[in-house]
Structure 1
Amino acid sequence: MTYRRGGHHAGMSGMFSRFAKHCAVIMGHPWAFGGALAVIVCWAVAGPAFRFSDTWQLVINTGTTIITFLMVFLIQNTQNRDSSAIQIKLDELIRSTRGAHNALLDLEELTQRDLDRFLKRYQSLAQSARRQVRDGWKDVDTPEID
């Protein structure tokens, strides 16, 4: 498979993804927190000058609401991309590992009921392995899953 970096990021979607990633990096920086804190301190200090009026309160409420509303979309975009990238990496590890079960690829597409069945099977394997370790056996087996 040939992979071209950025090949699918054409157009508006690609521009938004780059913008969202850039904003996430900036807003996740300690200086961004410091800047937000400075805005709150300035707003609080200005309170007496505005007699703690409704307008004074409305300014901070409106500003924080707008920023929060927009950040939800930016954060969701970056989380979706990060989650997809991690899932692809995990799928590749499963695919390329000898003895791994390819049936575990793309689990996120299964129903919750199917996921619960896999989870119970793996919990059972873990309990069995812990019993074997307590009994002095090594935990190096690769049992088949049902």
Structure 2
Amino acid sequence: MRQTQHDPERHPRFFASAANKASQAAGRASTFVLACAAIVIWAATGPLFRFSDTWQLVINTGTTIVTFLMVFLIQNSQNRDSAAIQVKLDELIRTGTVQNSFVGIEHLSADELEELRARCEERAKVVAAARR
């Protein structure tokens, strides 16, 4: 019997690739039209099934499952986008003339970020006033 080696790096890449493809497909107009068509078909079959509890359960279950799965796809997509933007911003900060102390601030607490935002806003007001 042949044993396969487990590659821990393969699964995250597979999920990222699958999540990316699924989120791209979910964002297409044709997917929206397909979802609307499913709702219209379901509604049209209401009289056929006498608007039964089972008929209602079909749409409730289907939409709940789709929503549940989409939450994870959307979160994965947002995590990757956020990480990519953060890397780009860090590189701009590193190579530019701004303060390198801003690199990595995404790891600060909400209170620390708010304090930093307020200081930056105050500095921006001072610079704008000096330009007038």
Say yes or no: TM over 0.5: yes
In proportion to residue count, which structure has more helix?
A: 2
Deviation at 1:129, TM superposition (A): 3.0
- Identical aligned residues as a percent: 48
Separation (CA, whole Å) in 1 of partners of 2:68 and 2:77: 15
> Is 1:41 aligned with 2:40?
yes
Alpha-carbon deviations, 1:116-146, whole Å to 9, x = none? 221111111222233334x3xxxxxxxxxxx
Separation (CA, whole Å) in 1 of partners of 2:24 and 2:62: 21
The residue type equivalent to 2:30 in the other structure is: W
Q: Mark the runs of 5 or more structure 1 residues left unpaired by the alignment.
A: 1-8, 136-146
Alpha-carbon deviations, 1:44-85, whole Å to 9, x = none? 000011111101100000000011111111111111111101
> Is 1:132 aligned with 2:119?
no
The residue type equivalent to 1:112 in the other structure is: A
Q: Mark the runs of 5 or more structure 2 residues left unpaired by the alignment.
A: 1-7
Separation (CA, whole Å) in 2 of partners of 1:16 and 1:46: 36
**In structure 2, what is the equivalent of residue 14 of structure 1?**
13
Q: Relative CO higher for 1 or 2, CA cutoff 8 Å, sep ≥ 6?
A: 2
Query: How many aligned residue pairs are there?
Result: 125
Separation (CA, whole Å) in 2 of partners of 1:18 and 1:59: 30
TM-score (ref. length: structure 2):
0.89
Separation (CA, whole Å) in 1 of partners of 2:110 and 2:67: 31
**In structure 2, what is the equivalent of residue 140 of structure 1?**
none
**In structure 1, what is the equivalent of residue 3 of structure 2?**
none
User: Which stretch of the first structure deviates more once superposed, 48-57 or 110-119?
Assistant: 110-119
The residue type equivalent to 1:114 in the other structure is: E
Alpha-carbon deviations, 1:20-52, whole Å to 9, x = none? 000000000000000000000000000011111
User: Which stretch of the first structure deviates more once superposed, 103-112 or 118-127?
Assistant: 118-127
Separation (CA, whole Å) in 2 of partners of 1:115 and 1:105: 13
Cα RMSD after superposing both structures? 1.4
> Is 1:103 aligned with 2:101?
yes
Q: Which runs of 4+ in 1 moved over 6 A?
A: none
The residue type equivalent to 1:121 in the other structure is: R
**In structure 1, what is the equivalent of residue 5 of structure 2?**
none
